[in-house]
Amino acid sequence: MLTQLWSEYVAALSFMTRLGPARMYTSEEIAATMRQFYTVGLTIGALITLPFALGAFSNHPWIQAWLWVFLSIWVTRALHWDGWADIWDGWGSCAQGERFWEIVKDSRVGAFGAIAMVIGILGQTLLAHELFAINQWQVLIFAPIAGRVAAVIIGGLGNAPAASTQGRLFLEGATRTTILIQTTLAILTGFALCGFLPTLYTVLLCALLIWSYLRLAKQQGGINGDFLGATVIGGELAAMLSFLM
């Protein structure tokens, strides 16, 4: 059992970060990584926050915030930011059906995607600064957890479009049991690191985010990996904002 969990964890690290070894995985292994989204979020949050918790640049919260966002992007290879920009490009275009998916899958970033990137990265930097300024860095450990568990939830509630390949495999791994376990772990961690009300606000904001994306997905015929990535970024922002609320 422990060997299986470790194998799933390493596979999830490989897909979602620079921290795992690159290799080919089976369809079953890809689907099983959904069971490790909480653990990967905890790993990323702890790793990129620890230097600042230990005092690095303690008198310069703006530098801490900028470095925290940079490390988050570097560790994840900007994987989720790509989905964030793609979904906002498609959403902002008001395109429907096949044209929507053409825009989402286009490697070029459009106007709406560029605006979303500015809002998202600037938002995370501002929020991280405020959290470092009041010495509440532990929230920045929780934020990557919240974003990735939100992605598990939307993956379990959505359906993949006919053309989806890898995204479909991830969605197959988001079973009810996986959602229940991941959500419970995330909420308990939120209580421990952030307190009751910030965790409650995070749940509410993430629920609103998931509902909005599911509504869009229903109009466009399904959810692909870009929706998962966009949910990760939205969930991180929700957790950071919720504590300051």
Say whether pTM exceeds 0.85: yes
Q: Give the Cα separation of 80 and 234 in Å (integer).
A: 10
41: nearest Cα among 140, 155, 169: 140
Q: Structural domain boundaries of the chain?
A: 36-244
How many helices (H) and strands (E) the chain has is answered by: 12, 0
- Predicted local confidence at residue 234, as pLDDT: 98
For the stretch 107-144, pLDDT in tens is 889 999 999 999 999 999 999 999 999 999 999 999 99
- Position 165 scores a pLDDT of 65
**DSSP state letter for 108:** S
Highest mean pLDDT among 12-26, 103-117, 177-191: 177-191
Model confidence pLDDT, tens digit, residues 57-67: 999 999 999 99
